[in-house]
Amino acid sequence: MKKRFITIIILLNIVVTLTIPQNSQADQTDLLMIQSLRISPSDNSAEIIWTTNYPTTGHFDFGLTNALGSWLDDNTFNTYHETVLGGLIPEQTYYFKITAAASDGRIVISDIYNFEAAEENDTKAPIVSNVHTSFITGNTATFVWQTNEPADSCVYYGSSIENLNKTKCNGSKVTVHDLTATGLDNNRFYYYKISSKDSSGNIQYSVYYNFMTNFNDDEDIPDLIIYEISPFNSFYAQDSASVIINLKANRPVEGDIRYGAKSGSYNKKVYLDKPRNVEQEKILDDLEFNTTYYYKVYLKDILNKTLTTPEFSFHTLPQNLLTLSPNLTLPTQEFFNINDVGQDFDLDGLTNAQEQQYNTDPIKADTDGDGYIDGIEVSHGYNPNGPGKIPILPQENFAYGQSRLKSLAEEASKANQLKTELEEMFGGLIPVAENNWPTLVNAYIYGSYPALAIYKSIVWGGKTVHPSIPWGIWQNSSDYLEYINK
């Protein structure tokens, strides 16, 4: 933090009418005045300079409140007065008043004024932590780190540890640092270190790190895509509703969420957190209960590609729904019997059979601890195990977030069904390499891609099928929309 040198100049024309002793020879119309006042705080002291229109002594009362309580005296008659207050507490507000007395008994007392003691002289460099590369492509690398105080950002990099001849800097004073270097060579080993400098000029360098760029150049960079966006109700306050928006993108992103209670009108906005990340979570609070909200997400990734989503909506839960504190269970007088499929032991609105179906805890009413019991979340379409909508994807991920079919015969049957449809579309043999066929089958069975999308993918070199993004999302991509009707 930077040392502050503050000079406060107060021009005063303070006139206090007091009774002048009878033996005074002074003209009562010739009033005593404090004419100027200057305060200059430094590290742990403050210099007070003040002047009067006649020679006076001075009495200086000061303290941390209006009650003052401490004082200094200046017993020399003079029109120029200089008082130094020592031992002050940095960044504390001090109050003071001045009493000036002339030799003939005239007295003038100022109002009570205040000043803030300066910050301590900062000689400590920022503490740097969590230095890493968050995203790497063939020609770019994104560097992220944190500091314990606001500081600027610089990264030094090169292909030789002895010659870090390239730099990328940002002068903004922040605590979360996020820089992207471009123009890198593909398939190249790089070394780097970072630095951060605070407002006082103290600079901290990191140790050396390294990374390797991806094998291929960034010639055909795919569009910025949101893989998943899920709102789910949360329980943060008794007097308002809250919703958490979770999203996942194919590259680290920054941006904002704009929302409102009227379609097409977004009167509120929240920014996504730093640093840029492929997964983002943002709380929308102060919402009305039992209300439909509409929102759009505006994103920019590390390659400066942008994306504006279509309008989405969510509906907040009614206020009078039964809610629980996290980890709290509801009382019951029954004995728990897992074999009783119709039992609702924890009184959350789900039977034991349903608890097994949704993978929730049969003896804990609020499995994910978000304040809403499992049955309430399920009945409103929300995931009782955390963010997202139901149905819940199985935890095992064979393809497109799905577990593999337990019956391989069923999988083979679906593959033959796809083969038959494609042969009809091509009027004979399917022109696809043998090693690509499993990818297309998985897209059909687990990614929910229709046969037409797979047909167009074969014709147009994969444009209408993504190997890991389900059809429900990929159908909105620019590639899909361009090639599906060609």
Q: Over the stretch 92-142, which tens digit does the pLDDT of each residue have?
A: 888 888 999 998 888 888 888 887 776 666 678 999 999 999 999 999 999
Q: Higher model confidence: residue 73 or residue 25?
A: 73
Percent of the chain exceeding pLDDT 70 equals 83
Query: Rounded CA gap, 131 and 196, in Å?
Result: 12
Q: Phi/psi of residue 265, each to 5°?
A: -125, 110
> Do the Cβ atoms of 287 and 268 come closer than 8 Å?
no
> Do the Cβ atoms of 154 and 201 come closer than 8 Å?
no
Asked if the model's pLDDT at residue 19 lies above 60, the reply is no
Structural domains in the chain plus CATH codes:
8-116 (2.60.40.10), 128-212 (2.60.40.10), 226-315 (2.60.40.10), 322-392 (no CATH), 408-483 (no CATH)
- Cα angle vertex 133, ends 130, 134, to 5°? 95
478 beta partners? none
Asked if the model's pLDDT at residue 202 lies above 70, the reply is yes
- Structure-token match 């003052």, residue found: 68
Interval 366-381 mean pLDDT: 74
Q: Phi/psi of residue 54, each to 5°?
A: -135, 155
pLDDT per residue as tens digits for the range 428-475? 888 888 778 888 999 999 888 999 999 999 988 888 998 877 787 678
155 beta partners? 168, 194
pLDDT per residue as tens digits for the range 273-302? 999 999 898 988 888 888 889 999 999 999
Closest CA to 385 of 419, 417, 350: 350
- Cα angle vertex 381, ends 375, 387, to 5°? 90
Query: Rounded CA gap, 316 and 231, in Å?
Result: 10
Query: Rounded CA gap, 165 and 279, in Å?
Result: 33
| Region at 436 (left for phi over 0; alpha for psi -120 to 50; beta for the rest) | alpha
pLDDT at 327 (0 to 100): 44
Structure tokens at 114: 């205040």
pLDDT at 236 (0 to 100): 53
pLDDT at 200 (0 to 100): 83
Query: Rounded CA gap, 19 and 355, in Å?
Result: 89
Asked if the model's pLDDT at residue 24 lies above 70, the reply is no
Q: Higher model confidence: residue 426 or residue 286?
A: 426
